[in-house]
Amino acid sequence: MTIKLYCFGESGNSYKAALALQLSGLDWEPVYVDFFNGETRTPEYRNAVNELGEAPVLVDGDFKLSQSGAIQAYISDKSGKFGGTTQAGKYEVLRWVLWDNHKLSSQAGMTRFLMNFLPEQHCNPDVIAFSQGRLKAAYQVLNDHLEGRDWIVGDGVTNADLSCCGYLYYPEPFGFDRAQWPHIDAWLMRLSEQPGWKHPYDLMPGNPSDRA
């Protein structure tokens, strides 16, 4: 049975789940969520898809799951990939997924949204500057960790990599310049060379150009 993933191209959190599905070899297809026209806020979406009013959402037969980290864990259980190869490795993967959700993706997602998807009059430069300062600290942690490593945990791609990369391939400015972080840059290049890898705007429906 084909797994369905409710997602949209601009969503870094959706990309984490979509990329895990794409690289896992599982049979899946995207279902477009029209976020920018308010679909996730409708009673229909909240009643039928996700009461939290968010994307991504994975549907596998009668099973439904939201939150990218939980979806990645489900994909690992189903495919046998990306979850870590030892007991200690599994917890290390989880540690980095939680770190990303709190320290990296949360700040990157908000900053990118403020800088690119809101009318200028609603953008507070002080908030953006504060968030970019936190992002710089997160980039430093990740860049330092990747020195001398190919992957965040262990000898291959795990959910730690698929989570932490979630926003870092997007072209919109939000305070991330790959050239300033050479170990992150090399890691992103390695990940993009994996068989089946696609850029978020190629992997999922939805692109800022659609609304231009």
**Residue appearing with tokens 């369905």:** 4
Amino acid making up residue 98: L
Tokens representing 162 are: 């698929």
User: Domain residue spans in the chain?
Assistant: 3-81+197-211, 87-192
Is residue 150 within 8 Å of residue 187, measured between CB atoms?
Answer: yes
Phi/psi of residue 117, nearest 5 degrees: -120, 5
CATH match of 87-192 with 1.20.1050.10: yes
Is residue 36 within 8 Å of residue 61, measured between CB atoms?
Answer: no
CATH match of 3-81+197-211 with 2.30.30.30: no
Tokens representing 127 are: 């908030």
Q: Taking the model in full, what pTM does it have?
A: 0.96
Is residue 21 within 8 Å of residue 3, measured between CB atoms?
Answer: yes
pLDDT tens, residue order, the chain (212 aa) = 899 999 999 999 999 999 999 999 999 999 999 999 999 999 999 999 999 999 999 999 999 999 999 999 999 999 999 999 899 999 999 999 999 999 999 999 999 999 999 888 888 899 999 999 999 999 999 999 999 999 999 999 999 999 999 999 999 999 999 999 999 999 999 999 999 999 999 999 999 888 76
